[in-house]
Amino acid sequence: MDNLFTLNSTDESDGLPQAEAYVWILGTKYNSKKDIDEIRNDIKSRLWFTYRKGFVPIGGFGSSFTSDKGWGCMLRCGQMVLGQALVSLHLGRSWRWTPETKNSTYYKILKSFEDRRAAPYSIHQIALTGASEGKTVGEWFGPNTIAQVLKKLVVFDDWSALTIHVALDNALIVNDVIRQCRVESASTAEVDGDVPLKAPSQWKPLLLLIPLRLGLNEINPIYISGLKTSFQFPQSLGLIGGKPSHALYFIGYVGDEVIFLDPHTTQRYGSTDQTSDDYDPNIDTTYHCKTATKTNFRNGSFSSSLLGSSSSSGGAGPVRIDHNQSGYSLSGFNLTSSPPSFKRFVPQQYVNNLFTSSSTGNLIFSFEALFGLVIFLPFPPGHT
Catalytic residues: 73, 262, 264
DSSP assigned state of 24: E
Q: Rounded to the nearest 5°, which phi and psi values hold at 67?
A: -150, 150
Q: How far is 374 from 25, CA to CA, in rounded Å?
A: 16
CB atoms within 10 A of CB 275: 6
* H-helix segments, the chain: 36-45, 73-90, 104-111, 123-129, 143-153, 174-181, 224-232, 348-352
198 vs 205: CA distance, rounded Å: 8
- CA-to-CA distance for 237 and 230, rounded, in angstroms? 9
Buried b (16+ CB within 10 A) or exposed e, 28-63: bebebeebbeebbebbbbbbbbbbbeebbebbeeee
Cβ neighbors of 39 (< 8 A, separation 6 or more) are 4, 23, 25, 30, 32
Written as one letter, the residue type at 43 is I
- The strand order across the sheet containing 163-166 reads 163-166, 206-209, 374-377
Measured from the Cβ of residue 17, the count of other Cβ atoms closer than 10 Å reads 18
